[in-house]
Structure 1
Amino acid sequence: MENPSPERCINLFHCLNELGDNSLMQEIQDYLRSGKINQIKLSSSQWSALVFVLLTSEQKMEKFDLKNFMGAQNTADEVLQKLLPVIKESRSAQLCRCGVTDKGCAVLATALSSNPSHLRDLNLSGNKLQDAGVKLISDGLMDPHCNVETLQLSDCGVTDEGCAALASALRSNPSHLSYLDLTGNKLKDLGINLISSILDDPRCKMKTLRLIDCGATDKGCAVLVSALRSNPSHLRELNMSGNKLGPSGVKLLSNGLEDPHCNLEILWLINCGITYKVCAALASALRSNLSHLRHLNLSGNKLQDKGVDLLCDGLKDPHSSSSIFLLCVTDKGCAVLASALRSNPSHLQKLDLTRNFLGKSDVKLLSALKDDPDYELKTLL
C-alpha cells in the first residue's frame, strides 16, 4: 500500500517455479504456446492465477481451446465460469465435446453480450446443450454487442424449439453470422423452415449453412428455396447431405439454383436418396447461364448411367461452370463424362470419382484429359 510505483498489475509467472507450483507454470506455458487448456486439476487459487497470467500476458488472445476437455476435477461448466475473463478476450472459443451443459451456456451468453465482445468463432459441437442451452446462447446472440461470425452446434440435441429461439435471435441481430452448422440435430422440417426463414432477411449475411442429417424432407426445402431466391441471396454454400429429400425436394432445390438471385456456389447432396429421375432438373440448373454453382457433390446416390448422361448434358452447355464430384459412374458413364468435358473444357478443375469401379481404360481416358494442356482439369481422384 505504501509502494508509489505506477504499476497497476503484478505478474507472478516467474515466481511460480520458486513457489513450487510447477504444474500451473507448465499449464500456462502450454496454453501460451498452443492456446489449449488440458485436463488438469487446479485449486481455486490456481485457477485465479492462471486467469491472471493469461490476461496479463503480452501474447494476444486469439483462440481459447477446451476441445475434448470433459472435465477433470472441475466440470467444463465450472472451468468456463473461472475462465470467463479469458474467453471474453478471445476471438475464438473451441469447446466441442468437452461436457458443456446449459449452465456453461449461461456463462458463454455473458461473453457474447459483453461490451466490447471479441468473440467471432464459437464451436460447441458434440455437447448435450439441448434446447435449454441453445436458448441461452440465443440470448447472447440477440445482444447488439454480439459479433459472432461462426457458430457450430452440430450434435447438440437441438430440436425445433431450440431453432425457434435461434431464429428469433438471428432476426434481431442478423448482420454478423456468416457460418452456421446444425449437423446431426433432429430439426425436421419445422426446424429447417425456421432457420431458412432467417435467410430471407436482406440484413442476413450468412454464407455457409450446414444441415447434414437433420431429418429434412421435401417439405423442408420449400422455405429454403424461397431464401435462395431472395434478393440479395448471400448464401454461397449449402450442405443438405444425409437428408431424404425425395424427388420433389431435389426439384425444388434445382429450381432455386436457376433463379437469377441465387448465388449458391457449393451444394452438397451426399446420401440424399437421389435417383436418375431427378437428374434432368439438376442438369437444367447446371445449364442455366444464371447459375453460379461451382461444386456439386452427389456421392452415395444411385444415379446410374442414365443420371450421369443427363448431368453431362448440363456440363456440355457453354454457360455451365460447375464441377461434379463423386458420381456413381460405370465404364459407359466415364465415356459420356469425358465427352462432356471435351465439349466444355474451360471450367472443371477437380474431378473425384472415388469408390467407383473404373477399369484401366476408363482411368486412361480421364487421365488423358488431365494431362492435356488444353483442359483446366488439375486434380483427378
Structure 2
Amino acid sequence: MLSCMFQLSNCKLGLEQSRSLAVLLIDNPRHLRELDVSMNDLGDRGVKLLMDILKSTQIYKLDKCTIHSPSTTRLYCCQLTEKCCENMFGCLVNIPSLRELNLSNNNLKDEGVKMLCNAFGLPACQLEKLIVASCGITLVRGFHFNSILKELDISRNHLGDSDDWADVLFCLSSLETLRLSDCKLTEKCCGVLVEALRSNLTNLKELDLSGNDLGDRGVKTLYMGLTSRCCTLERLFLRCCGITVKGCSSLAVALKSSCSSITELGLMGNDTGEEGLRILSDIRDNQRYKLQTLEIND
C-alpha cells in the first residue's frame, strides 16, 4: 500500500500557508501517514485549520479504512498555546490511527495538557507516544495518561517534586520510555519512582532523569528499584545529577545484582572522579554483568 509523508519542518509556514496546506490535505488524504509541520509559525489558528481537516477526512473515511489518517503528527515549535489543545483533543478522539504526537516547545501550560489528557480515557484514543517537552507545565496534578501509552516525554518542564507523581505513574502500565530530564526534581521523587518500578512500570526500558538534583542520596534510593525482580530497565540516564563516587558505588551494587537488566548507563556531567570511573568501568568490562555502554567523565 502506498503511504505519504508530508515533511514541512522549518519551511516558514504561517496562517496563509496553513490554508493552502489544508486544501491539499482535502484533495489528497488517502495515503497520508505522517505530518510534520514543526518549527513553523502556524499559531493556534493555523493548527486549528489543519486539525479540522484531519478530523473531517477521518470521519469521511471511517467506513472504508481508518489507516488512511496520519499515524504521526509533529507540531513542535509552532507558536501554539493552550487554545490549540481543544482541537488536538478532537484529533485524538476522531483519528484512532494517530499513534504519535509531538507538541514540544509550545506554551501549552498546565490547562492545555490537562485538556489533552481528557482524551486518554476514551476508547477512540490510541496514542502510544506523547512528547510535551518545554511546554510550560508546572503541575502534574490532574494528569491522567492512558494505560496504552508506550513513550512519554515531559522533559524541560518545571514540575518539581510532588505527591501527585504516584497517581501519574500508576496509570502508565504499558510505558516503555519515560523522559523527565530537567524537571526540577530532587531526591524526594526517587521514592515514588522506586515504588513504580517495583509495581506497575514493569515494562519500562528507558528512564531519563538527567539534569535533576538527585544527588547521591537519590541514587541510593533508586538502587532499591533497580534491584527489584519486577524492574526491566535497560537504559538509565543520570547526566548532570550531582552524583559523586558515593552514587557510583550505589549504582555498582545495583549493576552487579542478578536482577539488573541495565545495558546502558549515562552519567556525563557528574563529579564522579577517577574512582567512580574505575568502579563502573570494571563492571562494564566484566562479561558477568549486563552493562555494555557507559557514558562517564574521564
TM-score where L is the length of structure 2: 0.86
Cα shift readout 1:73-117 (whole Å, capped 9, x = no counterpart): xxx211122222443432111110101111111111111122x52
Residue number in structure 2 paired with 1:133: 112
Any conservation in 2 of the 1:112–1:145 contact (CA below 8 Å)? yes
Q: What is the aligned partner in structure 2 of residue 249 from structure 1?
A: 218
Query: CA separation in 2, counterparts of 1:287 and 1:159?
Result: 37
- Residue 264 to residue 291, structure 1, CA distance change in 2 (3 Å): same
3-state SS, counterpart of residue 296 of structure 1: strand
Aligned counterparts of 2:131 and 2:249: Cα–Cα separation in 1: 34
**Counterpart pick for 1:182 among 128, 133, 154:** 154
Aligned runs of 1:1-381 on 2, under 5 Å?
34-36=6-8, 38=11, 39-40=13-14, 42=16, 47=19, 50-57=21-28, 60-71=31-42, 76-88=43-55, 89-114=69-94, 116-160=95-139, 163-166=140-143, 169-170=144-145, 173-174=146-147, 176-190=148-162, 194-201=164-171, 204-230=173-199, 233-315=202-284, 318-329=287-298
Number of aligned pairs? 280
Cα RMSD after superposing both structures: 2.3
Matches of 2:199 and 2:217, distance apart in 1:
20
Q: CA deviation at 1:181?
A: 0.6
8 Å contact kept, 2:155–2:182: yes
Instruction: Assess if the C-alpha contact under 8 Å between 1:283 and 1:313 holds in 2.
Output: no
Instruction: Return the offset for 1:305.
Output: 1.6
Q: Bigger CA drift: 89-98 or 236-245?
A: 89-98
Distance 1:245 1:118 in 2: 38
Q: Residues 282-341 of structure 1: CA distance to partner in whole angstroms, max 9, x if unpaired? A: 111111111110100111111112212322454465531102423222xxxxxxxxxxxx
Change (3 A) 1:274 1:143: same
Instruction: From the CA coordinates, give the structure whose radius of gyration is larger.
Output: 1
Contact 1:197/1:223 (<8 A) preserved: no
The question of whether the paired residues in 1 share the 8 Å contact of 2:284 and 2:294 is answered with no
Q: 1:152 to 1:257 in 2, by over 3 A?
A: same
Moved more, 139-148 or 92-101: 139-148
Q: Structure 1: any 5+ residue segments left out of the alignment?
A: 1-31, 330-381
* CA shift for structure 1 position 127: 0.5
How much does 1:273 deviate?
A: 0.7
Distance 1:300 1:227 in 2: 26
**Contact conserved, 1:283 with 1:312, CA < 8 A, in 2?**
no
Alpha-carbon shift at residue 40 of structure 1 (Å): 4.5
Q: Which moved more, 1:53-62 or 1:91-100?
A: 53-62
C-alpha displacement of 1:59? 5.0
Query: Which structure carries more helix by proportion?
Result: 1
- What is the TM-score with the length of structure 1 in the denominator? 0.68
Question: Equivalents in 2 of 1:118, 1:68: separation in Å?
Answer: 24
Tell me the secondary structure at the aligned position of residue 154 of structure 1. coil
